[in-house]
Amino acid sequence: AQSVTQPDIHITVSEGASLELRCNYSYGATPYLFWYVQSPGQGLQLLLKYFSGDTLVQGIKGFEAEFKRSQSSFNLRKPSVHWSDAAEYFCAVGAGAAGNKLTFGGGTRVLVKP
Partner 1 sequence: NAGVMQNPRHLVRRRGQEARLRCSPMKGHSHVYWYRQLPEEGLKFMVYLQKENIIDESGMPKERFSAEFPKEGPSILRIQQVVRGDSAAYFCASSERPGLYEQYFGPGTRLTVT
Binding site for partner 1 (CB under 8 A): 4, 32, 34, 36, 41-46, 49, 51, 90, 92, 94, 96-107
The least distance separating partner 1 from the CB of residue 71, rounded to whole angstroms, comes to 21
Other C-beta atoms closer than 10 Å to the C-beta of 90 total 22
DSSP β-bridge partners for residue 75: 66
Minimum Å gap between C-beta 113 and partner 1 is: 22
Q: How far is the CB of 114 from partner 1 (least distance, A)?
A: 26
The smaller minimum CB distance to partner 1, of residues 67 and 90, is found at 90
Q: Which residues contact 76 (CB under 8 A, 6 or more apart)?
A: 19, 20, 21, 23, 35, 47, 48, 63, 64, 65, 89, 91
Cβ proximity to partner 1, 57 vs 103, nearer residue: 103
